[in-house]
Structure 1
Amino acid sequence: MLSSAIKGVIGIGAVAGAVAFGTAVASADPPVPPPCTAAELARVMSGVTFETSNYLTEHPDVNDFFTSLKGQPKDQIGQKVQDYLNANPMTKSDLQAIRQPSVDFRNRCGVTPETP
């Protein structure tokens, strides 16, 4: 599946601030991390999927490669993706950055790839 092939890979950041009467106020408490809920996972993954779609649209050669994997034996896809990304380090870096919010969520919430 295409998303499984790309999985080895997405970055979204958030900036928060408090303003009182036009003056920035520093908070003594650390920011509360986003919740580890199904809704938050869906939000994160939808962002990763959206950014992946944009990237593939803007990089037709990468899109063509991942599209060409359709119908290939699953036991061969992983190695082909690894070989492609090793031969294209900028693409690998870009896709890892796009996937980073997913990695961050999984690390923060203790979710492993095997967890349903």
Structure 2
Amino acid sequence: MSLSAPAVHRGIAVGAFSAALLFGSAAIAVADPPANCTAADLARTASGVSNATADYLFNHPDVNDFFTGLRGQDRDAMSANTQNYLDANPSVKADLQGIRQPLVDFKGRC
């Protein structure tokens, strides 16, 4: 029984494809996840940012009053009012960005 050239080529292609799937997925499975990217790490980072934000707001009553006053506004109004406030108060914007930076770093790393 002899095989035609197209049948041989198909067999080689299927074999190569199967090997690529087998060994390619094995390489992916063996790769270590980035360090400190677990759900627990995210929770710890988020809680640290949350605590730092609360401390900041308690120590800056005017900022706390502004953000408290957003309650009840629709999403578009809240977003526009927040942007206007932060544009008018660049030091507050910088402070809050600094507080939030660990979450930004986490997202970039993980």
TM-score by length of 2: 0.68
Q: Write out aligned runs for 1:1-16 (5 A).
A: none
- Which residue identity is paired with 2:68? T
SS of the residue corresponding to residue 68 of structure 2 reads helix
The offset of 1:34, in angstroms, is 3.9
Q: Choose 1 or 2 for highest CA Rg.
A: 2
Percent identity, aligned pairs only, is 60
Partner of 2:81: 80
Partner of 2:107: 106
CA distance in 2, matches of 1:35, 1:63: 32
Number of residue pairs aligned between Structure 1 and Structure 2: 77
Partner of 2:58: 57
CA distance in 2, matches of 1:65, 1:87: 12
CA distance in 1, matches of 2:35, 2:63: 32
Q: Deviations over 1:37-60 (max 9, x none)?
A: 110000000000000000000000
CA distance in 1, matches of 2:109, 2:76: 30
Cα-Cα RMSD: 1.0
Partner of 1:112: none
CA distance in 2, matches of 1:73, 1:93: 25
Unmatched segments (≥5 aa) in structure 2: 1-33
- Which residue identity is paired with 1:59? H
The offset of 1:90, in angstroms, is 0.3
Where has structure 1 moved over 4 Å in runs of 4 or more?
none
Q: Which has the higher helix share?
A: 2
Partner of 2:8: none
Query: Is residue 48–residue 99 contact of structure 1 (8 Å, CA) maintained in 2?
Result: yes
Partner of 2:90: 89
Partner of 1:40: 41
- Which residue identity is paired with 1:97? G
CA distance in 2, matches of 1:91, 1:52: 11
Partner of 2:6: none
